[in-house]
Structure 1
Amino acid sequence: MVRCCAITGRVTRWTYFCSASCWGECTFGCCLRLNLSCMKQSILPILACLSAFSAEAQISQTTSDTTRTLPDVLVTYQADKLTPVTFQNLSGSLLKARSVGQEPSFLLTQLSPGVTAYSDAGSTQGYAYFRLRGIDQTRINTTLDGVPLNEPEDQGAYFSNYPDLFNSLSRIQIQRGVGTTQNGTASYGGSIQLFSSSLLDSARATLGGGYGSFGSYRVFGEYASGLRGRTAVYARASHLHSDGYKERSANTSQSAYVSGGLFYDRSSWKLSVLAGQQRNQLAWLPVPDSVLRRNRRANANGRENDHFQQALVQLQNQWQPTTTTDVNTSVYANGLRGGYDFDLNTFLGLPATQELYRYDFRSEGAGAFSTVTRRTQRLTWTSGLHLSTYRRRHLGSERTAGELYRNTGYKREGSAFSKLEYRLGQFTTFADLQGRLVTFRYAGSVDMAPLTWRFLNPKAGLSFAATENTTLYYSLGRTGREPTRNDIFGGNDDLLADTDGRALVSNTRAEYVTDHELGVRHRRAGLQLELNAYYMNFQNEIVLNGSLGPNGLALTDNVARSYRAGLEAVANWQATHQLSFLTNAALNRSRIREQSESFQPILTPAVLFNQEVVYQQGPWLVAVAGRYQSRSYLNFANSVAINGYALLNARVQYAWRGWELTVFGNNLTDARYFNNGTVEEDGTRKYFVQAPANYYMALKLTL
């Protein structure tokens, strides 16, 4: 029977549903040759392979083994209780209680302040996107066990390529603002650190599935051996499908995650493989409001589809040469294959023809990072290095004309940092300095000089432990971020040339932010209170201008002066043994100044509020959650807005022995709302419609 605290998410028995696709020509422990084409196969070979490996490990275990095992491999970039930055920890069990395979963006809107999200298909599967403090996800650093997940050229983190990923996480730390140093893309608006499932959890096997509105379903399996002697292994796999709320917006995807570890007295090793694939009927174009008045499920896209496969391999090592020193090292490699169709006539509003364009991508990347942490009674000092290399081939074609162009982008990055926290009485001082060097080189039909950006990112802060349960803090940090490939090329996939043959480069200037964070944290049994204020002052900020480029991607402009300021709060209260309240809220005041004009940034609502009430009695759990999002603007002129809206969601859960049945109801008031869109030059308003009332039922068995 599951017993779960609604605030901490701790359970006496729980399961992990995750997803991943399959590995061909691979047996765990012999070869790790990735064969992405095998992802259509069953998950059973994976589970059988891991069971065999686990059994072999159990046979080799001796009763005289008294090995003192280290904890799972640690990543030393996260903040802790006294670090003077704004952060929030989310437990894996808290995520799993709400997750049925939907895009993680929607979970973040419920659990963390200042997050907005929307989906292409209107439902919660397929492509979805999020913003933090009004800042889009290309400027939010995302890592998994320290490995950067942001695609280096365009800096987006595409959770859809790893469907159901959040169901195999042990925890998440969300840092808002520049936070502490992270690997990869700059933590411009914040960072999301994902931590994989712990290999040291107790042994378990879980099977489950679910079905809901719009033909949505999921099946999954999970196996964990627990620690057996010095070894442990974990695997999960999922298959998901949804027809989508919009017409012709289906998503079918699979993913798999496999990891194994060796644990010794002073060192531990962990090898992880994550892979996923997805197929979508595309729905990424907003729909004119005149069409939506006739048919809210209309899809502005034509007969376009996509297919992507992506994989990530990571080898981690933790070494403890002394009781006060930790060395953490990882090497990783990733790859992506796939592409999507583009119906230019539909995009331009012209009658459809047989003409159909195709954008195909093939990318490979590799990297390594290492940190050394020294701890004394008062001092924690960490220094680290990260190096990565990446290339991505772009190929454009048309169905009848064949190949039109091909080009390749090469991006390399090197960074080093050192940070320390020093405790003196009730005070903790914090300093963090990162140097980052980024280069981009382009090879195509148009010559373009290589680009180089150099950043020096300092951060400092002070926290005061007023009581054992209460901490006050202030931090000041500055970071810079290079533009994306899409920013540099003005929305073109193939670089254009002017009449003299010179490259038409739109923007190569970096943007910078100086971030002030002031807050208080109060935590005691049954109560968690967090309140913070922030002021982010931008230089040369790259912001959406509300228009789409020649291949349908959103365009940006630079603005000389802008700022974002606000208040954020988290309040979780376990009122009684049965009753708890979970609250988060954000107030935002943001302005862009151009000459004598002042206006609000696009897609940045001033008020966000989430409230969930959870009642648990015996095997029953009932939760009701509400969300309010105020209006936001679609254009620089602030003349077109998306109206504010309120949503009401609920879930009912019954747990009996190893069985757990949960019914989810979303948008129970059947609100008809939009949360993203564009404005055309002729004034036409186009929106992304989101789903009305919908339901989902999930069942799982833990053995």
Structure 2
Amino acid sequence: MKTLFKTIFAVSVLQTSLAVAQERVPKDSVPTKSLEEVIVKATRADEKTPVTFTNFSKKDFSKQNLGQDIPVLMNYLPSVVTTTDAGNGIGYTGLRVRGSDATRVNVTINGIPYNDSESHGTYWVNMPDFASSTESIQLQRGVGTSTNGAGAFGASLNLLTDRTSEKASGEISNSMGSFNTFKHTVKFSSGLLNKGFELSGRLSKIKSDGYIDRAFTRLSSYFLQGTYIGKTTRLKALVFGGKENTYQAWNGIDGATLNSNPQFNWSGYYVDENGKERFYDNETDNYQQDHAQLHWNEKFSDVLYLNLALHYTKGKGYYENYKEDAVFEDYGMTAPQGLSTTDLIRQKWLNNDFYGTTFSLNYKNDKTDAVFGGALNKYDGTHFGKVIWARNASTSELGDQYYNDYGIKTDANAFLKVTHTLWDKLNLYGDIQLRNVEYKANGVQANLINDSFNFFNPKAGLTYSIKSNSNIYFSYAKAHREPNRTDYENGNPRPEKLDDFELGWRLSSERVKLNINSYYMLYKDQLVLTGELDDVGSPIRKNSGKSYRLGLEADAKIMLSKKFLLAPNVSISENRNKDFYNDASGTPVSLGNTKIAYSPQFIVGNIFTYMPIKNVSVSLLSKFVGKQYLNNLDDKKAYLPDYFINDFHFNWDFPVKKALKEISLSVVCNNILDRKYVSNGYDYYGTNYYYPQAGANFLAGISLKF
């Protein structure tokens, strides 16, 4: 462990470089690589890398970016299923890839880990409108390449923030739509100044009432980025963050309520002293998260680059609940004589710090592209609860905490990956990663946690070019992953292991881009979702012994003519537990081979775009998601029915002379056929709960670019 830390600090580096305006900065002062290229070099794949990936650029998602979160914007990518608690894509949203939930999708922002260290989850609600400051996204399905943060067990999602702008610019964007949804965004860039400086930023505000009753969101965010470009040195400093206030819609509804009142929300429900049904008006989630990143890139020569990043994230917030007939003892209060329970209002708080460094050293010549990199990161968080009101008095004082827990996690990794060209048509790829995790925590339910893991994750593969525009690839990757906090609080979990085999073919011509791949993901001790929730609403997972995912994916972009573009994708998979045991009754019962929960066998998408004239596009987007089980028991009563939805997009960009350069009009109509469908749910002790999604709804926006 000490040796690994010394190695990391000795090399300490990360990626940075920038394409700049040649006429404004002396030509000999501009490194040959751009900051954006180098900053993602350590974590991204390219056409020579034998992994399965999809690139998603600002051009792809900017026209539909009218307030919905990044997972919803990614809904039509291969093997992706999105979920949203409020039903309209704003607030708490998530995505699954190949049936793997968000805790298994490794997310990095400019190479910096974003997943929560303890839960492994990704909370997009803490970064509202982040798509407006995102230049590109790469989704690697499967294990992918070595990256920073927790291991990828379903996919890796790499986000790159806005690139440096050569010219000064400004943008004002406003949108509105169904459920009283509004989004307001202001962006600016100073352009690259004579001495190599650029400053850019964004402010955003989003509000929506949500499709589900009372599931409102009130979101605000900021983004500020400064860049300096010297002769061989480049610096990029960023601060960004968001603040969210959302009414909870976490509970879902049962089947009977789904049929009678699909917009009903149980959150905040209680019966007052007079027997009247009421809803607590502040059953809300409140959180603020702020990020700071500093990226430094040094060019030693035309083939050698050194990169370093430092980062710090501060998160603090709480959610508030009205609790009926709460037991005094559970909240650290002494009960008055003759009473044992009381109605009360509680707050559950998080206060955490996450900081560290990531680095990479990149050597590249005509035949060899090698990256040595890694990271050293630490998470230090507290969990505590407060009672802010109780109907019946007790001995407690204002500000008392009825629990005060902690979690401390240190995560260090170092990796070396090399792509070498044997001859013009064959590229060999090798990637090894060493990762050490140390986790200490306590909890209300769990005993003291003091665990340490050492993981060795090798990867290898080859890419063979059939022609200049076509190649085939094969790769093998091994990955390990530690349990999260909830896993410890609901059992004695073991770390997961995964062997991932990928075989694919890529074709890229002037009119057709085609990707076809197959995969076999063999798990041991996979922590699968049982479909149940614990008493604080967190999904419960249990080790399932051996399990596998076997699938075929295909996606394409086909220019039928100058005016018609077709972009279909299809995913067919089999997802099974081997010799699965159910121990819900306390005695393990063998159920044999069962289907893995939340893993549809078929996912089919298509985007059909018509461009009647220049700068005008009309698109019909279609998505089919097959049946999903809510547990791993092959319970024919616990499932999400398949669904088929269609969206409509309209975009018109028209240039304007003088100060105002362009006006962009966008309209997004979701679920235009007004289908009733459910994208998520859970099984709670034999009762199914669902998260219904909105029927036909729309968003419309206008952007003024200066």
Q: How does 1:58-457 map to 2 (within 5 A)?
A: 67-69=29-31, 70-73=33-36, 74=38, 75-76=40-41, 77-110=43-76, 112-229=77-194, 230-302=196-268, 303=280, 304-345=283-324, 354-399=343-388, 400=390, 402-425=400-423, 426-442=425-441, 448=448, 450-457=450-457
Find the aligned partners of 1:634 and 1:63 in 2 and give their Cα distance: 58
Match for 1:452: what amino acid?
Answer: S
Per-residue CA distance 1:46-101 (angstroms, 9 max, x = gap): xxxxxxxxxxxx9xx99978632551252222111111111111111211122212
**Is 1:670 matched with 2:635?**
no
Asked if 1 retains the 8 angstrom alpha-carbon contact of 2:63 and 2:651, the reply is: no
The aligned residue for residue 49 of structure 1 is: none
Aligned to 1:519: 504
Cα distance, 1:346–1:373 mapped onto 2, change above 3 Å: farther
Q: Do the aligned partners of residues 439 and 286 (structure 1) sit closer, same or farther apart at CA in structure 2, a change above 3 Å counting? A: same
Name which of 618, 621, 636 aligns with 1:625: 621
Shift of 1:102: 0.4
What is the deviation of 1:159? 1.2
Which of 569, 582, 588 is matched with 2:567 structurally? 582
Structure 1 letter corresponding to 2:621: A
- Closer, same or farther: CA 443–213 of 1 in aligned 2, 3 Å: same
Say which is worse superposed, 97-106 or 413-422, in terms of deviation.
97-106
Give per-residue Cα distances to partners, 1:399-446, cap 9 Å, x unaligned. 335420101110001111111011012110000000000001125788
Distance 1:532 1:662, change over 3 A: same
Aligned to 2:698: 695
Mapping of 1:528-677 within 5 angstroms? 528-593=513-578, 594=580, 595=590, 597-616=592-611, 617-638=613-634, 639=636, 640-657=638-655, 658-677=662-681
Residues 274, 652 of structure 1: alpha-carbon distance in 2 compared, 3 angstrom cutoff: same
Question: What's the CA shift for 1:250?
Answer: 0.1
Contact 1:144 1:195 in 2 (8 A): yes
Counting matched residue pairs gives 624
Q: Which region of structure 1 is more displaced relative to structure 2, 278-287 or 334-343?
A: 334-343
Distance of aligned partners of 1:603 and 1:65 in 2 relative to their CA distance in 1, 3 Å threshold: closer
Asked if structure 1 preserves the Cα contact closer than 8 Å seen for 2:326 and 2:343, the reply is: no
Contact 1:72 1:200 (8 Å CA) reproduced = no
Q: In the TM superposition, what is the alpha-carbon distance from 1:385 to its structure 2 partner?
A: 2.6
CA contact (8 A) 1:483 1:507 kept: no
**What SS does the corresponding residue of 2:153 show, helix, strand or coil?**
coil
| CA distance in structure 2 between the partners assigned to 1:346 and 1:597 by the alignment | 42
Name whichever of 519-528 and 241-250 sits farther off: 519-528
Paired with 1:286 and 1:95, the residues of 2 have a C-alpha distance of 29
Deviations 1:308-361 (A, max 9, x none): 00011000011110111011110000010101123454999xxx9742332100
1:502 corresponds in structure 2 to: none
DSSP-derived class of the 2:257 partner: helix
Secondary structure at 1:105 match in 2 = helix
Cα distance change, pair 701–62 in 1 and its aligned pair in 2 (3 A):
closer
Give, in whole Å, the separation in 1 of the partners of 2:325 and 2:147.
Answer: 41
3-state SS of the aligned residue for 2:525? strand
Q: What is the rounded CA distance, in whole Å, between the counterparts of 1:567 and 1:449 in structure 2?
A: 40
Cα distance, 1:233 vs structure 2: 1.6
Deviation at 1:448, TM superposition (A): 2.1
The Cα shift of 1:556 comes to 1.0
**Is contact 2:443-2:489 (8 Å) kept?**
no
Whole-Å Cα distance in 2 between the matches of residues 646 and 63 of structure 1? 52
Pair 475,488 (structure 1): closer, same or farther in 2 beyond 3 Å: same
Displacement after TM superposition at 1:577 (Å): 1.8
* Equivalent pair of 2:325/2:342 in contact (CA under 8 Å): no
**1:31-70 superposed matches below 5 A:** 67-69=29-31, 70=33
Cα separation, 2, equivalents of 1:195 and 1:481: 25
Cα 1:430/1:175, change in 2 over 3 Å? same
Describe the shift of the 1:561–1:64 C-alpha distance in structure 2 as closer, same or farther (beyond 3 A).
Answer: closer
Tell me how far 1:618 sits from its aligned partner: 2.8
Partners of 1:342 and 1:551 within 8 A in 2: no
Q: Is the 8 A contact 2:550 2:574 kept in 1?
A: yes
**Any conservation in 1 of the 2:255–2:688 contact (CA below 8 Å)?**
yes
The 1:637/1:443 distance shift into structure 2, 3 A limit, reads: closer
Measure how far apart 1:204 and its partner are. 1.6
* Residue equivalent to 1:21: none
**Alignment correspondent of 2:330:** none
Identity of aligned residues (%): 27
Corresponding residue for residue 484 of structure 1: 484
Normalising to structure 2: TM-score of the pair? 0.86
Letter in 2 for 1:685: N
In structure 2, C-alpha distance between the alignment counterparts of 1:565 and 1:130, rounded to whole Å: 20
2: CA distance, partners of 1:549 / 1:134: 21
Amino acid at match of 1:700: S
Separation in 2, partners of 1:287, 1:433: 46
CA contact (8 A) 1:95 1:167 kept: no
Structure 2 contact 24–193 (Cα < 8 Å) conserved:
no
Aligned-residue offset at 1:675: 1.5
Q: Structure 1 residues 596 and 545 mapped into 2: Cα distance closer, same or farther (>3 Å)?
A: closer
Secondary structure of residue in 1 paired with 2:448: coil
Contact 1:144–1:196 (Cα < 8 Å) also in 2? yes
Is the CA contact (8 Å cut-off) linking 2:487 and 2:541 kept in structure 1?
yes
Contact 1:224 1:234 (C-alpha < 8 Å) held by counterparts? yes
Task: Write the letter of the residue equivalent to 1:373.
Answer: N
3-state SS of paired residue (1:208): strand
Q: Tell me the equivalent position of 2:473.
A: 473
- Conservation of the 8 A alpha-carbon contact between 1:301 and 1:346: no
CA distance in 1, matches of 2:177, 2:679: 23
